[in-house]
Amino acid sequence: MAVVNQYKFAGIDNNTSGGALTPLGASIPAVNETIVIKSILVTSAGTPVVTITNNSITAIKSIALTANQTKELLTQPLIVEGGKTFTVQASTSDSFDVAISYLNIKKEVTT
């Protein structure tokens, strides 16, 4: 079994829906993957409170963001295990952008 490390970036320009976002993709990480998130940057047009959920557990809940500023939400890396869900959601329907830098560790079966 080979392990492949891929450094990636995911970004979402959120409109004013206020719904939960899956910036890494709906089925990412897959069961054979582990993701180590290094940075979560949020830029807000309004003043929402941003909630980061990892496997249905609130991992981060920001204070109300200041409009037109960028804030780093992580102080330490965040691990997302394979087959789990990772979502970003705002408390209001204010528009915001989220940018995530991460390491995707894939276990590939080689024959």
Q: What is the pLDDT of residue 111?
A: 63
Distance spanning both ends of the chain, measured CA to CA: 8
CA distance 11 to 57: 22
> pTM of the predicted model, to two decimals?
0.84
The one-letter amino acid code at 69 reads Q
> 101 vs 2, 14, 42, 72, 110, CA distance in Å?
23, 17, 12, 11, 28
Question: How many angstroms separate the CA atoms of 88 and 69, rounded?
Answer: 18
Can you give the pLDDT at residue 79?
94
Render each residue's pLDDT in the chain as its tens digit; 111 residues.
677 899 999 988 876 566 788 888 877 788 888 999 999 999 888 888 888 999 889 999 888 888 888 999 999 999 999 888 898 888 876 778 899 999 999 887 666
Q: What is the pLDDT of residue 100?
A: 94
